[in-house]
Amino acid sequence: MRNPVTDTTTGYAALDPCVHCGFCLPACPTYLATGDENDSPRGRIVLMRALERGDIEPWDRSLRDHLDRCLGCRGCEPSCPSGVGYGAGLEEARTRLYQVNGVSWATRLGLSIFNHRLAWRVLFGAARLFRTTRFPDLLAGRGRLGFPMGMLSATASRNGTRQRSRHVAKRMSPTSRGTVALFTGCVMDTLFRHVNQATKRTLEVNGFEVVETVGQSCCGAPLLHAGDRTRACTLLDQAVRVFNGAEAIVVNSAGCGATLKEAGSLLGTPAASEFAHRTRDVLELLAEAGPVVGAAVPIEIAYDPPCHLQHAQGIHRQVLDVLDTIPELRVRTLPGAEKCCGSAGVFNLQHPELAQEILGPKLAAVASASPALSAVVTGNPGCLMQIGAGLKAVGLPIEVLHPVQLLDLSYREAGFYD
């Protein structure tokens, strides 16, 4: 089996082990939704190989449609007995398509925002301000307006998990566990700032010193997924340069973490490889340290693992181990939890109908859960927004939370904050 963290095979060569066995088909959300072999990993590998050989031109409309409809969730990789690096091959193909065809003006405009810190801070800051009007809550629902409003509404902090930044965490770990730098990101730094603050507090309770790193930018993940590798690598190189001195770079966004951990293979420099080696997901780090135990949080939740955490980074058990340390918290994994929710970066904005169809089985599992759930927990901003919007669209009054928010709540109830 392929190790998603240590395997460094890149480009089309990562597709070499494929024997077209078909074990990947039932693991592919788009294939399950469309029933089209060309929308399956096996079918797409055939198309990518044809693109590589020149048998299909990169401007072929059918080729572009089938590759564009891939979520990039990499759920096919764990199901592959041959260890095919599907994600690396897809990234190479999309880079080629981007070089030849570019993207639509709307996508190009959207992606350009991530190139400039001021642009995304203004845009997402305005969205956060609009969120305070409660109009997104009122307009949330189905359709081209209702679902995006539900996504924005899902970014708000609720259920008593918000703590003001002026609250200071006490060190409850008996010893210092080192210095870490928090990668704040773009969406996390604006729409999910409360999660960043909760992350900082929980790390401090556990004996980590969190240092501030100035000059941070977007990690480049949205651009990389669209095929714009050049601009993505420029942003990634900036991240490598601004982080220094800390023993670890901590990430609380699965998509950002997956990209940062690929810095070595994408940039090809010793500094990038060393940076990638120091990058850790916050739940990964806490699981290794053994988190401090707080107060009871007696609610029923379902953990829905983000694709870029479970499949791309190989992190799953660690999250459950951390959640298991919260007294009286009842954690469940629902049927189909391992499959993508349909967010996939900007996929849900480019293919809203297909994205919501992919989300459907997950919502059905949540609705039929017995006893009823208080929250669905996941560690990626896109997943939080997609699942949150879906729950609002079907009228389920269930919260969506990041795992560290529950740990933060447990620590608050235990009196670990001044």
- For the segment 49-85, what is each residue's pLDDT rounded down to a tens digit? 999 999 999 999 999 999 999 999 999 999 999 999 9
The pLDDT value given to residue 195 = 97
Predicted confidence band at 115 (pLDDT cuts at 50, 70, 90)? confident
Does 350 score more than 90 pLDDT? no
- Tell me what pLDDT residue 167 has: 67
Kindly list the strands in the beta sheet with 248-251, ordered across the sheet, starting from the edge strand earlier in the chain: 209-211, 179-182, 248-251, 279-281
29 pLDDT band (50/70/90 cuts)?
very high
Containing H/E element for 205?
helix 193-205
Predicted confidence band at 166 (pLDDT cuts at 50, 70, 90)? low
> CA–CA separation, 162 vs 7, rounded Å?
39
Q: How far apart are CA 307 and CA 254, in angstroms?
A: 8
- The partner residues of 417 in beta bridges, in order of sequence, read 169
The residue-averaged pLDDT of 76-101 equals: 92
Residue 325: C-alpha distances to residues 70, 285, 307, 351, 417 (Å): 36, 14, 23, 39, 19
Q: Grade residue 345 by pLDDT with cuts at 50, 70 and 90.
A: confident
Compute the distance between CA of residue 414 and CA of residue 294 in angstroms, rounded to an integer.
5
Its pTM stands at: 0.93
Say if residues 319 and 252 touch (Cβ distance below 8 Å). no
DSSP structure string for 283-321 = HHHHHHH-PPP------EEEE---HHHHTSS--SHHHHH
Residue 169 pLDDT > 90? no
Please state, in angstroms and rounded to a whole number, the distance separating the CA atoms of residues 10 and 86.
10
Query: Which pLDDT score is estimated for 387?
Result: 97
Higher pLDDT: 259 or 9? It is 259
Laid out side by side, the sheet with 375-377 consists of 330-332, 300-303, 375-377, 399-401
Query: In this predicted structure, what is the pLDDT of residue 225?
Result: 86
Unique residue bearing structure tokens 């997956």: 258
Domains of the chain and CATH, by start: 11-101 (1.10.1060.10), 153-158+293-413 (3.40.50)
Of the listed ranges 26-40, 96-110, 205-219, 265-279, the least confidently predicted one is 96-110
Averaged over 332-341, what is the pLDDT?
93
Would you say residue 162 has pLDDT above 60?
no
- Residue 2 pLDDT greater than 70, yes or no: no
Question: What is the predicted pLDDT for the residue at 1?
Answer: 46
Residue 212: strand, helix, or coil:
coil
Query: In the predicted model, what is the mean pLDDT of the chain?
Result: 91
Distance of alpha carbon 228 from alpha carbon 178, whole angstroms? 36
